[in-house]
Structure 1
Amino acid sequence: MSSKAFWKPPKAIRGGIPVCFPQLSNVILSVQFGNLGSLEQHGFARNRMWSLDNDPSPLPPANNQSSVDLVLKSTEEDLKTWPRGFELRLRICLSAGKLTLIPRVRNVDSKTFSFTFALRNYLSVSDISEVRVEGLETLDYLDNLMRKERFTEQADAITFDGEMDRVYLSTPTKIAIIDHEKKRTFELRKDGMPDSVVWNPWDKKAKAMPDLGDEDYKTMLCVDSAAIETPIILKPFEEWKGRQELSTVSSSYCSGQLDPRQVLYGFR
């Protein structure tokens, strides 16, 4: 969580896990949505007040976990900038060492629409220079610092010595963020969101952001679950469903175990 996060709407909170819908960036907007003008960067869902869902889908048997169901529905204000009727539901399940998020988007409009989506995971780390991300080796990525040019990851693991803003494509269902100093690994499992954004603003950009502390970049890293390269298309009354599990495990358990060719499996 940023030390300078704004806590009053309509400004998004810098930290936690913002829900990015119906787009991840305003560049994608002009391509996918015909440049509708005033749609906010990373969408408007993260800036809205959500409600408790009075009609949640049945919960599976829970083992010592707490759950809450939230819902965001299109308003007249939203329809002015993005004229698509939708219902966005989010189930949040918390248990010891694990946080599960299950987003669902339903088209309640009479026309087909498309959207991009991301769960932006702000992770707290001891020292960004000592962190490595495993599971994205050999994959293609779009570099947002190089006009979205496409590259192939050559390193055995992703490490950090400067600003990074990349969209990794067709990523495995399991990614590890290894924090050597804390001897802790965040294990990210996802389904329905094939892409992953890896972002750290580093020093210059951090100082230019009013809601991020000058030194906050040293102890944060974003690794997102996302659907970006191929927008999700929903016909009238169709529904899309994603899933993300974020858990902590011993670093020695994960390190070196995430060959992308061996982890293309779903949730167990």
Structure 2
Amino acid sequence: MSGEKPPVEFCKGVNGLDKVVLREAKGSSAEQVYLYGGQVTSWKNDQGEELLFVSSKAIFKPPKAIRGGIPICFPQFSNNGPLEQHGFARNRFWSIDTDPPPFPTNTSNKAFVDLILKPSEEDLKIWPHSYEFRLRVTLGPGGDLMLTSRIRNTNNDGKPFSFTFAYHTYFSVSDISEVRVEGLETLDYLDNLQEKQRFTEQGDAITFESEVDKIYLGTPTKIAILDHEKKRTFVLRKDGLPDAVVWNPWDKKAKAMADFGDDEYKHMLCVEAAAIEKPITLKPGEEWKGRLELSTVPSSYCSGQLDPQRVLQG
């Protein structure tokens, strides 16, 4: 059909940064992946609604990381280590991977891109390990978004290395006070607002009325984010990522961030598939794989509740 846009298009984004746009054949589902940070900054449904949050004040200018979308935290989550906050993968330029290893994948799916990150001389000074980080970003036939990371130890000095990791996903929500997260009930978590003390989640679902910054441990492969106002539920499915971070900066922290609008905390929520509590260790030649799949389903409420557990069990 003439005029049909290609499933993969290479173009320029904000400030002339290289980006890749993926399109799904059946709908107008478009998604943008910046080579800077290997970062997804847009994921839309077939109605053209944006599903990810990017701050209106995001600075698309190296070396500042892009505030929103799906930054990749590697080789360190947060600032509990020698590196800058959340490591360096999110503010390095990635390359198109022209020779990716075979992926078990749906061969009919054309809307994907393979990226690769390798350490620069400067990186080796701050984190003295050789690695190959391969990232495949796929837009599925139904508009689902999939990110698959493969990290291989390519050290030739025989040394293993350890890292922590997160897909720092910013979801766009109508109103944070109308949102609930299901699938993390009764789990233990580390509270970053209370010196990483360990607690057990008590509620039947997580709701939001103040700042939250928690690392849930031993989480299920599926987590749901219910947006009451939009009658929409995000479903996260994950493999190789046992932890889940839930973060919203609330008003005071929002005002303190130069690249974040004062009131934007009301319209975003980070729920991050992660491996934090137990760092991943790779010997030379070993590879780790971590996968995240995001989808949306309509949700209907009965007396304020989701139809019991339908989403999490589906």
Q: Common fold, TM-score beyond 0.5?
A: yes
1:131 maps onto 2:179 in alignment: yes
* Distance apart, 1:259 and its partner CA: 9.9
Partners in 2 of 1:124 and 1:197 — Cα distance?
Answer: 16
Tell me which residue corresponds to 1:16: 69
2:308 to 253, 256, 262: 256
Matched, 1:115 2:180: no
Cα deviation, 1:107-155, whole Å, max 9, x if unaligned, reads: 0013101000000110000000000000000000000001100000000
Partner of 1:79: 124
2: distance between equivalents of 1:188 and 1:77? Answer: 35
Distance in 2 of aligned mates of 1:130 and 1:205: 20
Moved over 4 A (4+): none
SS in 2 for 1:203: helix
Cα distance in 2 for partners of 1:50, 1:256 equals 43
Structure 2 gaps, min length 5: 1-53
TM-score (norm 1): 0.91
Structure-to-structure mapping, 1:93-172, within 5 angstroms: 93-95=138-140, 96-109=142-155, 110=157, 111-172=159-220
What's the CA shift for 1:97?
Answer: 2.8
Q: Is the 8 A contact 1:175 1:258 kept in 2?
A: no
Secondary structure at the counterpart of residue 206 of structure 2: coil
CA RMSD of aligned residues (A): 1.7
Cα 1:64–1:104 change in 2 (3 A) is: closer
Question: What is the CA-CA distance between 1:8 and the residue it aligns to?
Answer: 0.5
Residues 181, 259 of structure 1: CA spacing in aligned structure 2 closer, same or farther, 3 A cutoff?
A: closer
Alpha-carbon shift at residue 54 of structure 1 (Å): 1.2
Give the corresponding residue for 2:228: 180
TM-superposed deviation, 1:257: 1.1
Shift in Å at residue 255 of structure 1? 4.9
Tell me, in whole angstroms, the C-alpha distance in 1 between the residues paired with 2:110 and 2:209: 38
SS of 1:54's equivalent in the other structure is coil
Distance between the aligned counterparts of 1:255 and 1:20, measured in 2? 34
**2-side partners of 1:244 and 1:196: how far apart?**
12
1:25 paired residue number:
78
1:58 Cα deviation after fit: 2.6
Question: 2:224, 2:311 within 8 Å by CA — same for their partners in 1?
Answer: no
Tell me the percent identity.
69
1:229 to 277, 284, 288: 277
1:199-228 C-alpha deviation (Å, 9 max, x unpaired) = 000000000000000011000000000000
Counterpart position of 2:238: 190
Relative to its length, the structure with more helix (as a share) is 1
Unaligned runs of 5+ in 1: 30-35, 264-268
Shift in alpha-carbon separation, 1:179–1:63, aligned structure 2, 3 A:
farther
Q: Distance in 1 between matches of 2:154 and 2:145?
A: 29
Q: Which has the higher contact order (CA 8 A, sep 6+)?
A: 1
Match of residue 33 from structure 1: none
Shift of 1:237: 1.0
Asked whether the 8 Å contact 1:134–1:258 carries over to 2, the reply is no
Q: Cα distance, 1:251 vs. partner?
A: 1.4
Distance 1:169 1:235, change over 3 A: same
Instruction: State the Cα distance separating 1:26 from its structure 2 match.
Output: 1.5
Give the structure-2-normalised TM-score: 0.78
